[in-house]
Structure 1
Amino acid sequence: MHELAITVIGPDRTGIVADVAEALAAVGANLTDSTMTRLRGHFTMTLICDGLTERDAERALEPLAAAGLLATVRRVEPKAAGEPYLISEPYLVSVHGADRLGIVAAVTRVIAACGGDITELTTRLSGPLDLLVAEVDLPAGAGDELAERLAVAAAELDVDVSLRRSDTEIL
């Protein structure tokens, strides 16, 4: 069987994660990766699972629609066995400053230009202030180049940017 990517979106309420997990467990799904968050009162969840068919997942999640949740299921291909992983270094990028159009686009473009793979990204708007936090895997030795490019982007955007190496000991 293939891996499935499932998304669940809708108005937030207590118990959604438990409802989704129970529905999938009942049909034999093994949850291998997941993330969830609340965005301005809206629940969002993405997960990867295996052990069931697309149709079984869709049927299991159908009752969630009555609670106003939209669930989508699609098949994804797992990383091929033996496919090499790039040697990378984990970093944390944080940006804060006055909210303005284009901050996320500019910062993520700089990260991409340095070969960075964004593994987690969060943005929050709090009044007039914008906060972006990204976990990034960089090619070995690319940290200094990214720091220089982020400094240029920060000056252009009039925001504060920090880049620090992540502690892999806790992972």
Structure 2
Amino acid sequence: MKKIYIAGPDVFEADSVEIGKRYVQICAEYGYEGMYPLDNIVDFEQDKQKIANDIFLANIDLIKKADVVIANLNAFRGKEADSGTVWECGYAYGLGKPVYGYMDCAVPYLQQFDESEKRLVDGLNVDTSGRMIEDFDYPINLMISCSALKIVEGGFEDVVKTLKENNFL
């Protein structure tokens, strides 16, 4: 049975355990084994940095065991995806594992800025801090967009369906 590592900031939600159970169940319904970061067993009765390192190593182990990574790339605490999720995607890509993402809205990144949040300077779109805004018609930074096999507009199950439809068995 193919294994899916479920990456994303969903682990920070108040109902994170239930979200994980739902995602794992969706995987099972399509014939996959879902692996959610909160499935790891970590001793929380130790130094904070030791806890963090244990989580880090446990998630690395799950990514290594996975056949594919599905990542929630929705904006998290700003306009960009969760940095931990982005790291996991890059790590999986570096291991040669296929990476799929999903976003509620996959319009080009530039279109995600309101007119009050950007301006044109010397023919380039910049944000209110004067930093260039990527304009490659991808919904997220080019490094993630180019490393993902596909970014699906929708939710987790939409990506799992895509895998099944493309015979990722």
TM over 0.5: same fold? no
TM-score under structure 1 length normalisation: 0.23
Between Structure 1 and Structure 2, which shows a larger proportion of strand residues? 1
Larger Rg over CA atoms: 1
